[in-house]
Amino acid sequence: MTRRPRVVLGVAGGIAAYKAVELLRLLTESGHDVTVVPTANALRFVGAPTWEALSGHPAYSEIWVDAHEVAHVVVGQSADLMVVAPATANLLAKAAHGLADDMLTTTLLTVSCPVLFVPAMHTQMWQHPATQANVATLRTRGALVLEPAVGRLTGSDSGSGRLPEPDEIMVVCRRLLAGGSAQPDLAGRRVLVSAGGTREALDPVRFLGNRSSGRQGYALARTAIARGAEVTVVAANVSLPDPAGAKILHVVSAADVREAMLAESGEADVVVMAAAVADYRPERYASAKIKKDEGLPAPITLTPTADVLVELVGRRSPGQIVVGFAAETGDAAGSVLEHGRAKLARKGCDLLVVNEVGTDRGFESPDNAAVVLGQDGTITEVPPGTKESVADVLWDLVVARLD
């Protein structure tokens, strides 16, 4: 029988501990062997019977229980992944300084597998210099510390510090278990990704758009996060759940994408233009809805939009990697690959991901296939698979070119 992946779920004493119950359920129902290690304060929010019933194992919180078995060593050494969710400011401080005064903190010192911290706390606590210094320390040691989500906190407060949704945390867990490495290869890197498809308004109701769902861009963001990157996503009309740990900037039009990408690209190590940006927009915008019985007042005249990828290439900083995407169809003028090569020459980016699109492929599909063309003449074929698998191949190529 194949051994089930072993996950240690640490739970610190924050109100978001109730969300960790759902994360535990997702882990166990997807075939993982989970041992829960709650702190004493976590048990004030969710009791041990809940953790034990859902995991099928004792919920260790004290090092004095079963001391003859040295449980923190046994649990830690056998883990394939350790997740701490929620990770409070106190827990992050203890972990950063190597303190070990309970079962959870001692277990953290025994694991050699990937470690994922999912912070949850009030905005001011998260932004405090002490917390940020502790997070930086943990990241330099190879731990993955997600950025918290933005939203409703306790009481009437809102802001950065909310625990990401359990299903999005689960995506990161799967990526870490699939990678099998305790040292994320994009750690310390800043990544900027655009995703989705733009909408160019014709009147208050209608727009010119495209079929891009943002799935590939979000897959790029999620895989980059799991590989340790600090990720910002410029999302154009994406209705998917936001990737856990990413900074999301929601935009609408090609002009919005251009403004956001140029503003955010300066400090990025890698810029990926995965969004489908309109080549044209209506020259005139009708301030009132165009009525069907009135007909169009005049033919719709289109005007070109800015070429965001070309601008990003022209403004890139030294050492920055710029990646473009080309959704192509073959025609009488050339094949998909020929159009891709011509586009790579025009755009000047380091890598161009070329994929054939149509009614049953590319856009809106969970799967993709592509050819990645390098400015250095390399050609990398990516066979049909999930958009996450395409993303991983691309990040492998990017990592090889960094520095």
Q: Which residues belong to the active site?
A: 210
Greatest CA separation for the chain: 85
Q: Do the beta carbons of residue 230 and residue 147 sit within 8 Å?
A: yes
Backbone phi, then psi, for 86, in 5-degree steps? -80, 155
CB contact set of 263 (below 8 Å; sequence gap of 6+): none
Q: How far apart are CA 350 and CA 368, in angstroms?
A: 21
CB contact set of 44 (below 8 Å; sequence gap of 6+): 13
The answer, yes or no, to whether the previous bond of 282 is cis (omega within 30 of 0) is no
Q: Do the beta carbons of residue 123 and residue 159 sit within 8 Å?
A: yes
Q: How far apart are CA 220 and CA 387, in angstroms?
A: 8
Q: Do the beta carbons of residue 323 and residue 350 sit within 8 Å?
A: yes
Pairing of the two strands 149-152 and 158-162: antiparallel
- Which residue, 201, 268, 264, 269, is CA-closest to 235? 264
Q: Do the beta carbons of residue 57 and residue 44 sit within 8 Å?
A: no
Reading the block at residue 326, the tokens are: 């080309």
Q: How far apart are CA 31 and CA 68, in angstroms?
A: 29
Looking at residue 275, the DSSP 8-state letter turns out to be S
Reading the block at residue 88, the tokens are: 């409070």
Pairing of the two strands 302-304 and 280-282: antiparallel
Q: How far apart are CA 53 and CA 55, in angstroms?
A: 6
